[in-house]
Chain A
Amino acid sequence: MIAPFAARFKHWKRDRRALWVGYAMIAVALAVLPFLVDNTLGRTWVRVIDFALIYAMLALGLNIVVGFAGLLDLGYIAFYAVGAYTWALLASPQFGLHLPFWLILPIGFVAAGFFGVLLGAPTLRLRGDYLAIVTLGFGEIVRIFLNNLDHPVNITNGPIGINLIDPVMIGGVSLTKTHEILGIEFSGTHIYYYLLLLLVMATIFVCVRLEDSRLGRAWIAIREDETAAQAMGINTRNVKLLAFAMGASFGGIAGGLFSSFQGFVSPESFILLESIMVLCMVVLGGMGHVAGVVLGTFLLAVLPEVLRHGASPVQQQLFGKVILDPESLRMMLFGLALILVMLLRPSGLWPSPIRRREFADAKADS
Chain B
Amino acid sequence: MTTVAVDKLLEVRHVEKRFGGLTALSDVSLSIHRGEIYGLIGPNGAGKTTLFNVLTGIYRPDRGALAFAGRNLIGLKPFRIVEAGLARTFQNIRLFGNMTALENVMVGRHVRTRAGVIGAVFRGPRTCEEEDAIHKRARELLDYVGIARHANSLSKNLSYGDQRRLEIARALATEPQLLALDEPAAGMNATETANLRKLLTRIRDDGVTILLIEHDVKLVMGLCDRVAVLDYGKRIAEGPPQEVQKNPAVIQAYLGGALP
A111 to chain B, nearest CB (A): 18
* Inter-subunit contact A2/B102 (CB<8 Å): yes
- Report if A234-B107 is in contact (Cβ < 8 Å); known contacts: A4-B132, A209-B123, A214-B120: yes
Interface hub of A205, A228, A358 (most chain B Cβ within 10 A): A228
A195 close to chain B: CB less than 8 A: no
* Inter-subunit contact A232/B135 (CB<8 Å): no
Q: How far is the CA of A213 from the CA of B128 in the complex (A)?
A: 10
* Inter-subunit contact B79/A235 (CB<8 Å): yes
Residues in chain B within 8 A of chain A (CB atoms): 56, 77-79, 82-83, 87-88, 90, 94-100, 102-103, 106-111, 113-117, 119-121, 123, 127-128, 130-132, 134-136, 152, 154, 156-157, 170-171, 173-174
Q: Within residues 193 to 229 of chain A, which ones have a CB less than 8 A from any CB in chain B? A: 205-206, 209-210, 213-218, 220-221, 224-225, 227-229
Interface hub of A215, A217, A233 (most chain B Cβ within 10 A): A233
- Report if A217-B79 is in contact (Cβ < 8 Å); known contacts: A210-B117, A210-B121, A231-B90: no
State which of A4, A206, A230, A361 has its C-beta within 8 Å of the C-beta of B154.
A361
* Inter-subunit contact B96/A228 (CB<8 Å): yes
- Report if A231-B96 is in contact (Cβ < 8 Å); known contacts: A214-B120, A217-B110, A218-B107: no
A89 close to chain B: CB less than 8 A: no
* Inter-subunit contact B96/A221 (CB<8 Å): yes
Besides A214-B134, A357-B154, 4 other A-B contacts (C-beta < 8 A)? A220-B103, A228-B94, A232-B111, A354-B154
Supply 29 A–B pairs (Cβ within 8 Å), ascending by A.
Answer: A1-B152, A2-B100, A2-B103, A2-B106, A4-B135, A5-B132, A5-B135, A209-B123, A210-B117, A213-B131, A214-B109, A214-B115, A217-B110, A218-B110, A225-B97, A227-B94, A228-B94, A228-B95, A230-B78, A232-B110, A232-B170, A232-B174, A233-B79, A233-B83, A233-B87, A233-B110, A233-B174, A234-B111, A354-B100
Query: What is the interface of chain A mostly: helix, strand, loop, or mixed?
Result: helix
| Closest chain B residue, CB of each to CB of A224 | B96
Q: Within residues 319 to 359 of chain A, which ones have a CB less than 8 A from any CB in chain B? A: 354-355, 357-358
B206 to chain A, nearest CB (A): 20
The range of chain A's interface size is 35 or more
A236 close to chain B: CB less than 8 A: yes
* Inter-subunit contact A231/B88 (CB<8 Å): yes
B138 to chain A, nearest CB (A): 10
| Closest chain B residue, CB of each to CB of A233 | B111
Q: How far is the CA of A206 from the CA of B136 in the complex (A)?
A: 25
| Closest chain A residue, CB of each to CB of B107 | A221
| Closest chain A residue, CB of each to CB of B113 | A214
Q: Within residues 287 to 346 of chain A, which ones have a CB less than 8 A from any CB in chain B? A: none
State which of A6, A213, A229, A246 has its C-beta within 8 Å of the C-beta of B115.
A213
A112 close to chain B: CB less than 8 A: no
A242 close to chain B: CB less than 8 A: yes
Q: How far is the CA of A232 from the CA of B110 in the complex (A)?
A: 8
* Inter-subunit contact B117/A215 (CB<8 Å): yes
Q: In the complex, which residues of chain B have a beta carbon less than 8 angstroms from the beta carbon of A213?
A: 115, 119-120, 127, 131
Q: How far is the CA of A72 from the CA of B99 in the complex (A)?
A: 20
> What 3 pairs between A and B have smallest CB-CB spacing?
A233-B111, A233-B82, A213-B120
Q: Within residues 58 to 92 of chain A, which ones have a CB less than 8 A from any CB in chain B? A: none
Q: How far is the CA of A214 from the CA of B130 in the complex (A)?
A: 9
* Inter-subunit contact B154/A215 (CB<8 Å): no
* Inter-subunit contact B96/A220 (CB<8 Å): yes
B109 to chain A, nearest CB (A): 8
Q: How far is the CA of A234 from the CA of B114 in the complex (A)?
A: 12
Q: In the complex, which residues of chain A have a beta carbon less than 8 angstroms from the beta carbon of B121?
A: 205-206, 209-210
| Closest chain A residue, CB of each to CB of B176 | A233
Q: In the complex, which residues of chain A have a beta carbon less than 8 angstroms from the beta carbon of B170?
A: 232
Interface hub of A5, A221, A357 (most chain B Cβ within 10 A): A221
B110 to chain A, nearest CB (A): 5
A106 to chain B, nearest CB (A): 15
A49 to chain B, nearest CB (A): 27
Interface hub of A213, A218, A231, A235 (most chain B Cβ within 10 A): A231
* Inter-subunit contact B90/A228 (CB<8 Å): yes
Q: In the complex, which residues of chain A have a beta carbon less than 8 angstroms from the beta carbon of B109?
A: 214
